Structure 1
Amino acid sequence: MHLPIVNPVLTRELFGRIRGRNAWLILTGYLTIIGAITLLIYAVFVSSAIPNDPETSLRIGKGIFFTVMTVSLIQVCFLSPSLTAGAIVGEKERQTYDLLLASPLSPLQIVTGKVLAAIAFALLLIMASLPIAGLALLFGGITGQEVFIGVVGLLITAIAYAAIGIFWSTVMRSTLGATVMAQGTVLVILLLVPFLYFVISLLIGAFDGPPSPLYIYIMGTFLCLHPFIALGMTVGALESGNGPLLWQLSSSIGDLFVPSPWLVYSVLMILVTITCLALAWQRIQSAEDDSGS
């Protein structure tokens, strides 16, 4: 009895990715880096701990958890676009792109199959790192909300950045070019967002007093394009007594309630994902129309 194949592209990509040697090398390297840095952080906390201090265990737990989440996020930011950067342009280099277009598969099936395979592998990496993050629960200091938000942040980042990679894969003519552009886009986001925020805030004098509600909404949304800043602000909001959904901020007209940064980040990344996939689908559709005419 054979199960029906929903998406042949997804099936082929998954088998090819998991059976390949690179998958195990990436997974081993990913976990080795996380484990080594986590062990180093643990050693630092233990060596600097005050004897008989009841807060030591909580600090170690927080240190381990946030270290695992930060290192995982760094690796996801650069691995996810790399996993999809060669998805379409690689078919062109292997001269199988025209055959793929001539198949009964629709452009939507091609795009979703390629992206879902990369997301599945990224999800494997995220799930593999959770046991290391789970060590923090043995020490305490971490809530279930923080664990949930951390995992969601990793997953939504993996999906959005994989979509960025698939977009550049439909634009560029070589795998190297697509990888460089995808990685460059991620690097621009990580570096340009805080730089522009700082420059704009200085120019309008936002640091001189309580900000206006308009500034909070516009610049807050802009900052939430950055995964580390958005999730970092969420941690600060939770530690200051705010809930996981709303954040209370002081403005020039009094207290203001805004959505928690991780929610804003999730919505923005969903929009980025939809936009990149739509553009990729459009380019494949145009290529299919040209080949059929």
Structure 2
Amino acid sequence: MEAIVTKELRSRMRGARAFVVITIFLALLSCFVVALYGFTKITTGSIGGPPPPLGRIMFYTLTGIELLLIAPLAPAFSAGTIAGEKERQTFDLMVITPVTPTSIVLGKVLANLAYIALLIVVALPIQVLSITLGGLTLTEVMVGLWILLLAAVFYGCVSVFFSSFLRSTTLASVFSYLVVALNLIGAIFIVLILGILGSDNTLAAMLGPTSEAPSKFLLYVSDLLIAFSPVLTAIVSETALVANGDLFLIHLDLANPNTQGRFTMSLPSPWIIYSVIYIVLSVVCVWLSIRNVRPVVARNPRNPSRPEGYTLTETMEDVPLTQGDQRGAAEGEV
């Protein structure tokens, strides 16, 4: 696996493309920071009143922009990892080497995720700058970065899966971008579903006190649906963290229709469920990729009783020879 990772990283970092992408990535983030800072200052000066928590606004905006920038980059770097080998007709040569399919897939996944992680790391100084502007805690920063990192890992693993399943880089890229797009805009459909199920009270209860209490079942379903979207997960988790100060639970202030009073209901914070879902999905994608890369060997018609575990690593010495083969070998020796 180390050989695969080293080879992929050297190939990616050898040219100017990797450094150009990093430069453009940081330039776009810096431009958004300057524009947001100037807009906030102008708005505060014209409207008056106390200044908004600029640090929190800047961090949330930067995290959202990073997600929008990394979402298309992860499939672009990962969709051709294995499909590209098939197009160059080097896939069979790679498979028959002593390197196992697990090492091949994990090596390519780690090499691609290492570059995506590099983009997140080089943007850390800009994001940490938000703490100095006030209104933001280190815990909020860590939760936001964790959500962003898991989304990038999932996008990369899904792209590698399609790359191992399809024989064309173009098709792998199309399906990868389709999954990423559905994952990002899925927040809109989740909000619509929650609005239909709970008459807009369910999502409102997740964000703050409400005058009407949705059913507990809908609240649990809402917590699960929100965890499928990185956007909604970040919004609800950060809002609950600021309101309650609890990293692992969200405490809902709900109205009690029976006693006309109020009661508190606690649910797991969406980022915890989000972590479990996205880690499991990423592991499943890697496992399926390994199965797709593993070579399939047809049975030898001369020896139909060959066991199912027979692989390409076995040599011809392991295959029993028929009498005709033995006679031919003897004549060749003579």
TM-score, normalised by the number of residues in structure 2: 0.79
Cα distance between partner residues in 2 of 1:235 and 1:159: 21
- Structure 1 contact 76–157 (Cα < 8 Å) conserved: no
In the superposition, relative to structure 1, how do residues 218 and 289 fare at CA in structure 2: closer, same or farther (>3 Å)?
farther
Report deviation, 1:251: 5.6
Q: Take 1:80 and 1:62, find their aligned partners in 2: how far apart are those partners?
A: 26
RMSD: 2.3
Q: Which has the higher helix share?
A: 1
2:293 is aligned with 1:280: no
| 1:71-101, Cα deviation, whole Å (9 max, x unpaired) | 1111122212222111100111111100110
Distance in 2 of aligned mates of 1:203 and 1:221: 14
The 2-side partners of 1:278 and 1:251 are apart by 43
Alignment partner for residue 23 of structure 1, among 1, 18, 22? 18
Unaligned runs of 5+ in 2: 203-211, 257-262, 299-310, 315-334
**In 1: Cα distance, 2:102 partner to 2:59 partner:** 38
Which moves more between the two structures, 104-113 or 202-211? 202-211
Return the offset for 1:20.
2.2
- Of 270, 277, 291, the match for 1:268: 277
Aligned equivalent of 1:3: none
Q: Is the 8 A contact 2:4 2:104 kept in 1?
A: yes
**What secondary structure is seen at the aligned counterpart in 2 of 1:61?**
helix
Q: Which has the larger radius of gyration?
A: 2
Cα gap change, 1:50 to 1:14, in 2 (>3 Å): same
Instruction: Report the counterpart of residue 319 of structure 2 in structure 1.
Output: none
Question: Do structure 1's residue 237 and structure 2's residue 240 form an aligned pair?
Answer: yes
1:118 corresponding residue in structure 2: 112
Higher relative contact order (CA 8 A, sep 6+): 1
Contact 1:86 1:175 (8 Å CA) reproduced = yes
Equivalent in the alignment of 1:139: 133
1:247 to 232, 245, 250: 250
**Percentage of pairs with the same residue:** 29
Alignment of 1:43 with 2:38, yes or no, is yes
Aligned pairs, number: 285
The one-character-per-residue Cα deviations of 1:166-203 (angstroms, maximum 9, x if unpaired) are 01101222111111110101111222343154146415
Change in 2 beyond 3 A, CA 1:64/1:282 = same
The alignment partner of 2:84 has SS state of: helix
* Equivalent residue for 1:225, pick from 223, 228, 237: 228
**1:18, 1:288 → 2: CA distance?**
33
The answer (yes or no) to whether the contact 1:64–1:135 under 8 Å persists in 2 is: no
CA distance in 2, matches of 1:151, 1:145: 10
| Structure 1, 212-221 or 188-197: larger mean CA deviation | 188-197
Which residue in 2 is equivalent to 1:12? Answer: 7
Query: Which whole-Å CA distance do the structure 2 matches of 1:54 and 1:17 have between them?
Result: 50
Give how far 1:265 is off: 1.0
Q: Distance in 2 between matches of 1:268 and 1:223?
A: 11
Q: CA deviation at 1:60?
A: 2.2
Q: Specify the SS of the correspondent of 1:257.
A: strand
Pairwise CA distance, 1:288: 4.7
CA distance, structure 2, for counterparts of residue 115 and residue 234 of structure 1: 29
After the TM superposition, which segments of 4 or more aligned residues of structure 1 sit over 6 Å from their partners?
Answer: none
Is contact 2:76-2:173 (8 Å) kept? yes
Q: CA deviation at 1:160?
A: 1.1
The equivalent of 1:80 in structure 2 is: 74
Amino acid at match of 1:23: A
